[in-house]
Amino acid sequence: MSSPNINKEFDRVPADVVAKAAVFQPAILSDVNGRRGAFHGRIRALRPNMKLAGPAFTVEVRPGDNLMIHAALALAKPGDVLVIDGKGDQTCALMGTIMMQAARKRGLAGVIVDAAVRDSLEIEEMNFPVFSVGTNPNGPTKEVGGRIGYPISCGGVTVHPGDFITADADGVMCIEREKIGTLLEKAQEKETAESRRIAGIKEGKLGTPWLLPSLITAGVLKEGEEL
């Protein structure tokens, strides 16, 4: 009989959708998702070159205890992103080199933890994507139960198991599993438009047609006034 605290059966965003969505920056996906889904900026890449994408494998722990993360490592599937609600605790590290090595060996896409980690130099050498609220040399306890495979709050965002997770140097994004596929065309259009705009700026086309109407709408300028 399975534990009521561990949900092993949930739908994941399909691998082909992950592959298509992974080419877009989290910033692009945030824009086409109505500027929703971005984790609080306290959760950042351990090193700026780290990035990841995959379905969320959710874990909730008590602050300072990583018992359920060990259980999650035994259950997560290749390609999953471990997303851990560590309550923002920075008084100790929930994971270090040993657990990150295990995560990589199991084929996980990376780890996102709303808490601290340690062994940051070794993790950098591993080139394994880790996003956290920072580092702390203290180790955790392994004594308190939690939950796996249920909705969590991580970085102020509700994350359901199987949701699409993407992250880079700008931060972490979560988009609902059922929604991410519908945003791919919009993301491509946004990326193309931004590339066109940047190319125009490099050619000296610095005008912003939307600026004057927006200033008038905001009451900064009156109708007929110019900058």
**Binding site feature residues:** 96-99, 118-119
Reference 75, options 153, 144, 12, 166; nearest CA is 12
Q: Are 19 and 184 in contact (CB under 8 A)?
A: no
Residue positions in the annotated binding site for substrate?
96-99, 118
Residue positions in the annotated binding site for Mg(2+)?
119
- Determine the residue type at 4: P
Q: Are 135 and 120 in contact (CB under 8 A)?
A: yes
Q: Are 116 and 92 in contact (CB under 8 A)?
A: yes
CA–CA separation, 93 and 136 (whole Å) = 5
